[in-house]
Amino acid sequence: MSTENSRYLSNLRRAEALLAAYQAGDTEAIAHVTERHPRGKEPEFIPTLLDTRLIVSADEVKPKRLQLEVLKKQAKRLFKYWRLGDKVTLERVSAMHPRASTLHPESARLADAQLVIARELGLPSWPQLKAHIEALEISRNALSRSDRAVDTAIGTLHIRGGSDIEKALPKAGLRGEFLNILEAYVTGPLRGGADGDFDAFLNARARFLVQTYPDITGNDTQAFQRVLDGLRQDQSKLSDVSKDHRELCLWFEHDTHDQLTLAMVLERLSRQSLEIPVKLVSPDRFPGVGHFLGLGMLQDDPEALRLLWQQRQPVTPDQIAMGARVWRAVCAGIPTKLYAMAQESNPPLTHMPRALRWHLEMLPNAGNGLSSVERRTLEILNCDGPMSAGALFSLHNYEADPLPTLGDLTWYSIAQGLFEADTPAIDYHITTPDAPLLQRGTLSITAFGKAMLAGQANWLKENTIERWVGGVRIRGGQKNWCWDPGEGPVFL
């Protein structure tokens, strides 16, 4: 399978080992599969390689509570097996130790094993890992006191593109008002979103959201007006953030969904005279999470959220200016300015270039006409065979996507186009129509889908589709802005 990272192969090896251990009767492996698989406790359940792959990939995104004494024991055990030349241990060392190529097992020290453990957990050194654990303990102790320490978040307006941490913030002692920007700018039309009078933009977004997500928005005659009213209300709150607040805290991680929403918020802030400080929480990792997908992973760890809030950074004028530039470029009908910003080194908004490249790769590929999400989705089916939409989303999000960005319904809206097209790339065999949306049947790749992956067919030439990448309109059978991995956006 061709993916942008090595996570697929690493998880595959671990999944094969877990399945082999389960089949050999290993009690630890059996207990792990039984506990972690949704059907693991059913008497007739017999795991397949796909089942253990889903378990392994999900394990990587499960936050671990870090305990220093436990980590010390893990380092000693790693050191022992490193000295013995254990193959799996040597692979861990090779992946994490900066001097792995020249450091022989017999010359390794316990400090080297501790360094490997720290780097596996997302920190550059053992002392920094210890400091992080101590900071979490201080945060935990503060929250355990009856007064929840001094709650300096009262009067703060917390802004986020989602509701995942809304209920968790008060548990972290952060009781300010919460504004959820309930949007997904990674799909649908954005043209006009940077205009001075953007009511037409909000109308277009409301129509798109109602048509794309009827299970969320409703499909009755009042759905459009409800959604439009909600979008207008969000924008109204953003128009004068200084009113009734003493600080603004923006919670946006590194993925494209969050970074585009952050750009929109900063563009709106650039239009007003700010009279209160603006702070930003924008992590791309968190120690104890092997594969960090976002802040929502920490919703059950109030001390972690409080620690991140304590580490928030002031938003600078340069960052506001960059966010405004990005949003205007995202909403434009030509992607060349956006591509230039995706190439910037040391930008004011650190995570923005990578997020913009992910966005640009949603343009149709110059060769086969597929977006990067469509291509990865087909690659998984081509490699691993038929599976449910839920399993397919998990493998795409946890393994194949180099910058996990999409929620399950947003991904499904993209995959849906692959099996509802005139010439489909996916066959969808529905077996249980009344089941949850992502569990209703089995998806498999068609011969046409295989031909596109082989570079022998083009998605846009065979289908009369229409979709948007920000402000760029994509239509089948016409010339379009496409993505060339070597040259960037090209008009073909």
3 state SS for 362-414: CCCECCCCCCHHHHHHHHHHHHHCCECHHHHHHHHHHHHCCCCCCCHHHHHHH
Output the pTM of the full model: 0.92
The residues near 109 (Cβ < 8 Å, ≥ 6 apart) are 79
Average pLDDT over residues 20-29: 94
Residues of the chain with CATH 1.10.10.10: 372-491
| 482, containing H or E segment | strand 481-484
Q: Is 312's pLDDT higher than 70?
A: yes
Angstrom distances, CA of residue 444 to CA of 386, 458, 464: 4, 19, 22
Cα–Cα nearest to 158, from 327, 285, 281, 318: 281
Residue 283 and residue 312 in contact, taking contact as beta carbons nearer than 8 Å = no
Looking at residue 358, its pLDDT comes to 98
Residue 115 and residue 125 in contact, taking contact as beta carbons nearer than 8 Å = yes
Helices (H), 290-351: 302-310, 317-330, 336-342
How far apart are alpha carbons 156 and 249 in whole angstroms?
A: 7
How far apart are alpha carbons 381 and 402 in whole angstroms?
A: 18
Range in 131-135, 286-290, 341-345, 384-388 with the lowest mean pLDDT: 286-290
For the domain made up of 372-491, the CATH class stated in words is mainly alpha
Query: Tens of pLDDT along 218-227?
Result: 988 899 999 9
Query: Tens of pLDDT along 341-386?
Result: 999 999 999 999 999 999 999 999 999 999 999 999 999 999 999 9
Residue 355 amino acid letter: A
11 or 377, greater pLDDT: 377
How far apart are alpha carbons 268 and 324 in whole angstroms?
A: 8
Angstrom distances, CA of residue 396 to CA of 38, 201, 284, 381: 19, 31, 19, 10
Q: Is 147's pLDDT higher than 70?
A: no
4 or 198, greater pLDDT: 198
Query: Tens of pLDDT along 315-344?
Result: 999 999 999 999 999 999 999 999 999 999
DSSP 8-state code for residue 296: G
**% of the chain residues with pLDDT over 90:** 82
At residue 93 the predicted structure's pLDDT band, cuts being 50, 70 and 90, is: very high
**% of the chain residues with pLDDT over 70:** 97
Looking at residue 152, its pLDDT comes to 57
Looking at residue 5, its pLDDT comes to 55
Average pLDDT over residues 153-178: 91
How far apart are alpha carbons 363 and 490 in whole angstroms?
A: 10
DSSP 8-state code for residue 361: T
Q: Is 149's pLDDT higher than 50?
A: no
For the chain, how big is the Rg over CA atoms in Å? 24
12 or 255, greater pLDDT: 255
Query: Tens of pLDDT along 34-88?
Result: 999 989 999 999 999 999 999 999 988 888 889 999 999 999 999 999 999 988 8
422 or 215, greater pLDDT: 422
Q: Is 405's pLDDT higher than 50?
A: yes
The residues near 482 (Cβ < 8 Å, ≥ 6 apart) are 363, 364, 365, 366, 369, 489, 490, 491, 492
Q: What's the chain's average pLDDT?
A: 93
How far apart are alpha carbons 325 and 266 in whole angstroms?
A: 9
Query: Tens of pLDDT along 464-485?
Result: 999 999 999 999 999 999 999 9
11 or 440, greater pLDDT: 440
